[in-house]
Chains A and B, each alone.
Chain A
Amino acid sequence: MTLCLHQSAGFAIDTPHLGKITWDSCSELFLPVGLPGFENETRLIPVEVPAYRPLVFLQSAEHPGVCFVSLPVLTICPGFELHLTEDDRANLLLDAAAQPAIGADILCLAILLPSGGGAEANLGAPVVINLHNSRCIQSLSPQAVFGYYRLNDSGAWEAVC
């Protein structure tokens, strides 16, 4: 999967935050159930701006004003482990017994939340992308052991107790 601003044609959207984006269908994420609070957002475009790597912008393909800022969870917590529910696996079209590897089979992104003048990330609700079919969900496993992380003044992430 390519995470970048695409110059090739296909679809285009003029966004207030990232300017004009063009992409082809194979770069698009399909969210069978949307995201909580955004159930109708079933198509997202992952956009990586070189100056802001490793941030990933998740731009709605249909609503120009809807865009989330995210980070790969491993850049926040290198020891992160993912727990998927049966429903998560079904929506990602993963086998019930499959143990998908982060980076090889799936991507895990944490959506950044505004917090005062900084940001927090809820690692208990990662956005999970199946790299083999571009299906995407926000996982809400009751078994998740990772919670909130906050960006401190020195630019490092620390767990919120």
Chain B
Amino acid sequence: MLVIRRRAGEAIVVGGDVEIEIIEISRTRVKLGVTAPRGISVLRREAAAVASENRSAAAFLTTGAVQTDLVRLLDKVSGKMAKNGNGTADM
């Protein structure tokens, strides 16, 4: 891993067209500004894992085989909720 020391107001450049600027440094946090081409996805690390989950979640309804499972699942969830009287639970 490359380690670089920077101060507020300074920046680093990645790959020629991605610039990461140190905007503010507080006691426990660093505020970063990222300038990148529109096609470059910039995510917090925890968001990257969720991005992958979201893509598979969106496929829940688009894959034929999964769709069959989903119909069973919907019946299971809605049936269970109705049986438990939880159908009107607050969101």
* A interface residues with partner B (beta carbon < 8 Å): 16-17, 35-39, 51-56, 65-69, 71-75, 102-103, 107-109, 111-114, 117-119, 122, 125, 138, 140, 142, 151, 154-156
A67, A108, A138: the one contacting B91 at CB < 8 Å is: A108
How far is it, in angstroms, between the C-alpha of A156 and the C-alpha of B86 when the chains are bound?
12
Within 8 Å CB of B52, what residues of A?
37
Shortest distance in angstroms between B16's beta carbon and chain A's nearest beta carbon? 22
Shortest 4 CB-CB contacts between residues of A and residues of B: A103-B90, A37-B51, A155-B80, A72-B91
Main secondary structure of the interface of B (DSSP, over half): helix
B54, B66, B72: the one contacting A111 at CB < 8 Å is: B54
How far is it, in angstroms, between the C-alpha of A35 and the C-alpha of B56 when the chains are bound?
13
Within 8 Å CB of A54, what residues of B?
78, 81, 86-89, 91
Select from chain B the residue with minimum beta-carbon distance to A59: B61
Could you pull out 30 A-B pairs where Cβ atoms are within 8 angstroms?
A: A16-B61, A17-B61, A17-B62, A36-B48, A38-B55, A52-B78, A53-B87, A54-B78, A56-B91, A66-B58, A68-B57, A69-B61, A69-B74, A72-B89, A72-B90, A102-B90, A107-B91, A108-B91, A111-B53, A112-B57, A113-B57, A114-B59, A114-B60, A117-B69, A119-B73, A140-B46, A142-B46, A151-B77, A154-B80, A155-B79
Within 8 Å CB of B70, what residues of A?
69, 114
Is the CB–CB distance between A113 and B53 below 8 Å?
yes
Within 8 Å CB of A16, what residues of B?
61-62
